[in-house]
Homo-oligomer: A and B are copies of this chain.
Amino acid sequence: MVRPTMEDVALRAGVSRALVSLVMRNSPKVSDVRRAAVLKAAEELGYSPHAMARSLASRTSTVLGVMVSDLHNAFFAEVVDGIDEVAREQGFDIIINTGGRSPARERRALESLQSFRPAGLILLSPVVPATAISKAAEQLPIVLVARPSRVSTVDTVNDDGEQGARLAIDHLVSLGHRRIAHLDGGEGTQAGPRRRGYVAAMEAHGLTPQVVSSEYTDTAGARAIRSLIESGTLPTAILSCNDFNAVGAISALEDAGLRVPADVSVVGYDNTSLAALRHVSLTTIDQPRAEFGRLAALALLQRVRDGRTEPVRHLLNPSLVVRNTTAPPGGLR
């Protein structure tokens, strides 16, 4: 169980260690015979380079660290796909760690990631305080995804939540809705912009906003609907803070004998795989997740390789995905 080293390969191929090193980094200045011999020896020994030793010696790193705040959320999986795509193209490896939505655990994940001395770090929706981030940013380039920041040393990639909410409201208004409530995400990341966008869009249409306090879960969505029904203030359409909340809302509406979308229309946010299920078929707002990842990786590489120092702020446009939970009000369809 002891892994072969360059020395072993060199011995077996009858060359020096340095030459093996050249072959491994496929330098052009190695004769074909020697190269073949080295490759053969490496193959036979099952040798593969030791990334840490390499990075130590070369004083460079081809590793990008990725901190995923919540592995349970498929949202991040697609962002990672985007990161992975760009990183691989550019010859970088990624290592992932997860924070489990707990600041303490996330802190540990960050430290662990940094102990590998990666070229840079991409943080997906981190929950640690901003000071922890700016402190880390003193040591290496950092890109934040799905979390805004004013720290001038970090880049950010976000979706324009205000515009997303506006798209949803415009859609509902164009269907004929006038009374549209927003089930608010409370403290959740991105809840602020979505709420502001909702209020602004309603007012732009001359309508009265109705913000209902809720959370990013299906039970919270159901609870909010029940309170609306009890207070007799149920509108004809709902904009939920995310897809889970929307599914909870739909289920509570159906429990109350109301039909979606005939009696009430519902719009989600995020276009998770849940929304696409035919059983749900939720009208929702899509964020270009893989693009988030690609831009984040690109931003990091610009700092790492091209030495960029001014921060970049990507604000991506979400889009509306119309499915089967929205229709004109009052069953007019």
Contact = CB atoms under 8 A, between A and B. Distances in A.
A279 to B, nearest CB: 4
Contact of A95 (B55, B78, B116, B218): B116
A146 to B, nearest CB: 16
Interface stretch (A7-15, A168-176, A245-253): A245-253
B277 A251 contact: yes
Interface in A43-76: 46, 48-53, 55-56, 70-72, 74, 76
A48 B280 CA distance: 48
A107 to B, nearest CB: 12
A157 interface: no
A96 interface: yes
Contact of A71 (B51, B80, B114, B140): B80
| Copies of this chain, tallied across the complex | 2
A131 interface: no
Contacts of A52: 51-53, 55-56, 115-117
Given A115-B50, A278-B218, A96 B93 contact: no
Interface in A265-306: 273-274, 277-280
A117 B81 contact: no
Given A48-B111, A52-B117, A3 B94 contact: no
Interface string A226-262: 0000000000000000001001101100100000000
Contact of A279 (B71, B140, B251): B251
A134 to B, nearest CB: 12
Given A72-B77, A96-B97, A279 B248 contact: yes
Interface string A128-148: 000000010011110000000
A98 B84 contact: yes
Contacts of A254: 279
Contact of A96 (B53, B98, B218): B98
A165 to B, nearest CB: 23
Contacts of A273: 72
Nearest to A277: B218
Nearest to A140: B1
B72 A84 contact: no
Interface string A77-97: 110110010001000011111
Nearest to A139: B3
Interface of A: 1, 3, 46, 48-53, 55-56, 70-72, 74, 76-78, 80-81, 84, 88, 93-98, 100, 105, 108, 111-112, 114-117, 135, 138-141, 218-219, 222, 244, 247-248, 250-251, 254, 273-274, 277-280
13 contacts: A1-B141, A3-B139, A51-B116, A52-B115, A71-B80, A71-B81, A72-B78, A88-B108, A93-B115, A94-B97, A94-B112, A251-B277, A251-B278
Given A95-B112, A219-B278, 20 more contacts: A1-B141, A3-B139, A3-B140, A50-B117, A51-B115, A52-B115, A52-B117, A56-B56, A71-B77, A72-B74, A72-B77, A72-B273, A80-B98, A81-B100, A94-B97, A95-B97, A244-B277, A247-B279, A251-B277, A251-B278
